[in-house]
A and B are shown apart, each in its own frame.
Chain A
Amino acid sequence: MTQPVLELREITKDYDGNRVLKGVSLVVRPGTIHAVVGENGAGKSTLMNVLFGMPVIRETGGYGGQVVLDGREVSFAAPIEAMAAGIGMVHQEFMLIPGFTVAENIKLNREPTIPNLLSRIAGPALETLDVPAMRRDARAALDRVGLAVDEWLPMAGLPVGHMQFVEIAREVDKKKVRLLIFDEPTAVLTESEATQLLSVMRSLAAEGMGLLFITHRLDEVLAVADEITVLRDGEVAARLEPRRTTVGQIAELMVGRPAAVVKPGGAAARAAGPPALAITDLAVEMPGERVLGVSLTVEKGEVLGIAGLAGQGKIGIANGLMGLYPARGSVAKDGKPLALNDPRAAIRAGLAFVSEDRRGVGILPDESIELNIVLTALEAQNRFLRPGPIGPLRLLDRGAARRHALEMIRALDIRCRGPRQQVRRLSGGNQQKVCLARAMTLDPDTLLVSEPTRGIDVGAKERVLEILRGLNRERGMTLVVTSSELAELRAICDRIAIVYHGRIEAVLPPDASDESFGLAMAGELHGAEAARG
């Protein structure tokens, strides 16, 4: 058997005591394509960071296990070292300079040069660029990836799809490259370009390179890969051969996990009357999580889960309802139309939101816990203010704010030194409780919660889920919980809506089979049902 190009042996990595990689091993052989699939947070990007020597790995205490490249153990301190050792990377974001020509981009920092009078005195940095040689090399590389654009065109005018191929041409042009990493390369491509890319990948593999292919598009994996590694929760969930597997099976492996908690008892009694939310054809322009057309009804008093693979648009729904990203469509709250694109209108209508982006949207890191808790209510509902003649110039009622904060700290068990502590200094779980407290302070009848347990430790996770359950059962609050962790949704929801490609693929009961969830997330449930029926 040929020597592998790359071998990862039992890679482990901790971030602040959180183990995100728990012994991942995989092997890439020359002339083959090895696909790595997994949900967001499964550890794919951390694995790539380890392989590529990104500084963040070293800064957070290094990694465990071995990286073996061409039979020699390596450990890179910087991406540049990885590149020098023969790893090529096709980035998810284009690493191209728009103002440069195609050839200049391909040869960036590897330009062929000609010595001149000045460079003989001042060193090779002042050697003149050999433009004909640059064009020649670029042309050859472009031909290898099948892109026939002129190499002296400026990058900026090219279609996005072509940029992807220029990226690959640049990596191919590096003479030493033995291992090529494709990080979600087809995300921006049209269907025909994606097909084209897959055939380029196959021909590069045929030249003897090893390819590592990271993607969300499972059908592509089946089409092109020789081996598949499924990552879940920082572990290898399975190693598959494409010929003996299906998309549904892979999806199931990616998300399926025995439910840790089983939902005890029923939900709060459903109230009569119009639904809490009636959503029709909602489209949200949230980059990376676009919603194309969601129609969904949320009954009063229920807990609705929203699930789906990353990038399919599940995150966009709540953000669109709250007016944080441009939204179109019609939404009725309790039978009354809700104005979109207006956060204040959403809050006034009785909605509250706990964002998936806790640090970015959820908290004021430099302010005190008490201010974080009361600020939205103060702003949108004029509460916690002393009486005064001019609305905006009414003073903060510190006593009332303090009392309320203390109550919340007790009710939600926020571990802190007191209500004046900076939120920045709290742990992730306690910050999340502050976010919940802020949303609860608004006294909403419907609470939208996104990724309630992301990045917090196990104990806090349980506590947060308990709080949510309590809000629903004791206060009768309607909950819409968006999460990447199917297990927690199945533990607390009455119904779970699966989002695929910006639309609702299916609404399933929490006790539906793993296979149904897997198929729905891969967008194949309807097809499968049709075939069965």
Chain B
Amino acid sequence: MNTQTPQPSGPAPRAGAPGPARGLGTPGPARGPVAPRRTLRGALSHAAVPMLFALMCVLGIIAAHIGPGFLIRELLSRFARNAVLVTSLLIPILAGLGLNFGIVVGAMAGQVAAILVTYWKIGGIAGFALACLIAAPLAVLFGLGTGALFNRSKGREMVTGLIAGFFANGLYQLLFLFGVGSLIPWHDKSMLLPQGFGLRNTVDLFGIQYALDDLIKVSVPIDGSPVRVPVVTFGCIALVCGFNLFFQRTRLGQELRAMGQDPHVASTAGIRVDRNRVIATVLSTVFAAWGQLFFLQNLGTLNTYSSHEQVGMFAIAALLVSGATVSRATVGQALLGTLLFHTLFVVSPLAGKALLGDAQIGEYFRVFVAYAVITVALVLHAWQKARRDRAG
């Protein structure tokens, strides 16, 4: 916005406005702090991060001679798998909680639900829907817990979320590695480890695999071979995105946005900041649980003890690749980031193999990229914040 040009929209300045005073109001040269202006340079620097990644992807595709059919097939399924998880990060960012590393806990709720419907042998779309229904209250519960932790560690929510994920992982292991089959009766012995208790390291989710993706079967031939398009899954992603957009225009959304910008002003205006922070965490955790179910129904197998571990890191890295920051992220960025990050994910081992004759280096490289992207985003965020604090 340019304050020099008065009133881009809305009524013209009222020269004869009723009231005691005249003369104030045509915005003169600003003396106070001025908002960052949307200039061409600003737009370019905003787009620099996604453009850099797009360039890396294109170079990788060229180097590894990846055909469009393979790429599109991979991307369609990876996008459908991950988009909801990435979107689940948006609401806490809006509320000023930063990147919710605690979505790992939500992912665990999704996995518990997936394990249960598999155990009950309820398959198909009914099984998937039931899993979503079971996951939701669990995630609400977990979200309440993480939200309470966040409220006790204001200013360091991110590291708290990260450690909360690790800690929850310990409890999850305790439950499924030692509790199931010993303290908790478990009749389906085929799911258990040979010792008679503890779940196996992988659980086949054939019952709910593609339950959503293939609800309406659509395939498009590309490069001669048919590529499956998970239309229903995309529909659900669109619904989740729609909810996020709608949410920002609601009263609660406005409250979260105000808190995110200045919790002190918000609480002075009577907004219940702590309560709303918990609500934001709960919403995020629920979406993460569903996101993990989307992920698992596409993949078809569950690595009982590790599927959830990297969820937070990859979702966060994907979001940040789009140029989103710790304090600002949009639905569009979530979708763009998912696409870019997973392109890089597909491409880098192949590029590593083509360029250096070693796929392993590509795999290390993509993990490095994920960590590096998060590090850079954190540094930029903290840097700007420290500078703002110093300025007053």
Contact = CB atoms under 8 A, between A and B. Distances in A.
Whether A and B are associated in the same complex: the answer reads yes
A83 B270 contact: yes
B202 interface: no
Contact of B249 (A129, A150, A158): A129
Contacts of B7: 149-150, 153
Contact of B22 (A100, A146, A157): A146
A41 interface: no
6 A-B pairs with the lowest CB-CB distances in the bound complex, closest first: A146-B21, A148-B25, A156-B35, A203-B20, A160-B32, A157-B3
Given A98-B35, A165-B24, A125 B251 contact: yes
A159 interface: yes
B271 A158 contact: no
A150 B32 CA distance: 17
Interface in A149-176: 149-154, 156-163, 165
A200 interface: yes
B99 interface: no
B9 interface: yes
A99 B261 contact: yes
B48 interface: no
Contact of B10 (A126, A135, A192): A135
A202 B1 CA distance: 34
A111 B254 contact: yes
B310 interface: no
Interface stretch (A137-145, A237-245, A407-415, A521-529): A137-145
Nearest to A109: B269
Given A158-B30, A200-B21, 14 more contacts: A95-B269, A98-B33, A108-B258, A111-B254, A129-B251, A146-B19, A146-B24, A148-B13, A153-B7, A154-B1, A161-B31, A162-B24, A200-B19, A200-B20
Contacts of A144: 18-19
A287 B251 contact: no
Contacts of B250: 113, 119, 125-129
A518 B11 CA distance: 50
A329 interface: no
Q: How large is the interface on B (under 10, 10 to 19, 20 to 34, 35 or more residues)?
A: 35 or more
Contacts, number: 151
B27 A159 contact: yes
A473 B3 CA distance: 61
Interface of A: 79-80, 83, 91, 95-100, 104, 108-109, 111, 113, 118-119, 124-129, 135, 139, 143-154, 156-163, 165, 192-193, 196, 199-200, 202-203, 287
B10 to A, nearest CB: 5
A103 to B, nearest CB: 10
A104 B257 CA distance: 11
Contact of A100 (B8, B14, B24, B258): B258
Nearest to B6: A150
B194 interface: no
A100 B28 contact: no
A128 B249 contact: yes
A305 to B, nearest CB: 31
6 contacts: A97-B261, A108-B265, A109-B258, A129-B249, A159-B27, A287-B392
Given A127-B251, A156-B35, A199 B21 contact: yes
A468 B31 CA distance: 44
Contact of B14 (A143, A161, A162, A163): A143
B21 A145 contact: yes
Contacts of B18: 143-144
Nearest to A104: B254
Contact of A150 (B11, B21, B251, B254): B11
B24 A196 contact: yes
Contacts of A287: 392
A220 to B, nearest CB: 16
Nearest to A78: B270
B67 interface: no
B40 interface: no
B26 interface: yes
Interface string B353-376: 000000000000000000000000
Contacts of B8: 150
Nearest to A287: B392
Contact of A196 (B21, B26, B254): B21
B27 A158 contact: yes
Interface string B367-392: 00000000000000000000000001
A203 to B, nearest CB: 4
Given A119-B250, A127-B250, A146-B22, A159 B30 contact: yes
Contacts of B262: 97-98
A153 B1 CA distance: 8
B92 to A, nearest CB: 17
Contacts of B251: 111, 113, 124-129
A100 B35 CA distance: 11
Interface in B7-57: 7-11, 13-15, 17-35
A512 B179 CA distance: 86
A146 B16 CA distance: 10
A153 B270 contact: no
B195 interface: no
A168 to B, nearest CB: 11
A109 B271 contact: yes
Contacts of A162: 24-25, 27
Given A79-B268, A129-B249, A157 B27 contact: yes
B35 A203 contact: no
A344 B7 CA distance: 52
Interface string B333-371: 000000000000000000000000000000000000000
Given A97-B261, A124-B251, A139-B11, A149 B31 contact: no
A150 B10 contact: yes
A279 B9 CA distance: 54
A274 B13 CA distance: 62
Contacts of A95: 264-265, 268-269
Nearest to A155: B35
Given A79-B268, A98-B261, A150-B9, A126 B31 contact: no
B252 interface: yes
Interface in B296-313: none
A154 B261 CA distance: 13
A262 B268 CA distance: 47
B258 A158 contact: no
A97 B265 contact: yes
B14 to A, nearest CB: 5
A108 to B, nearest CB: 5
A129 B256 CA distance: 13
B120 interface: no
A29 to B, nearest CB: 20
A192 B22 CA distance: 11
B255 interface: yes
Contacts of B3: 153, 157-158
Contacts of A160: 31-32
B17 A148 contact: yes
A158 to B, nearest CB: 7
A489 B17 CA distance: 53
Contacts of B264: 95
B255 A156 contact: no
Contacts of B249: 128-129
Contacts of A124: 251
Nearest to A195: B21
A143 B19 contact: yes
A200 B252 CA distance: 34
B1 A199 contact: no
B17 A143 contact: yes
A100 B1 CA distance: 13
Contacts of A91: 268
A203 B34 contact: no
A158 B34 CA distance: 7
A158 B32 contact: yes
Contacts of B270: 80, 83, 109
B219 to A, nearest CB: 34
B254 to A, nearest CB: 6
A401 to B, nearest CB: 34
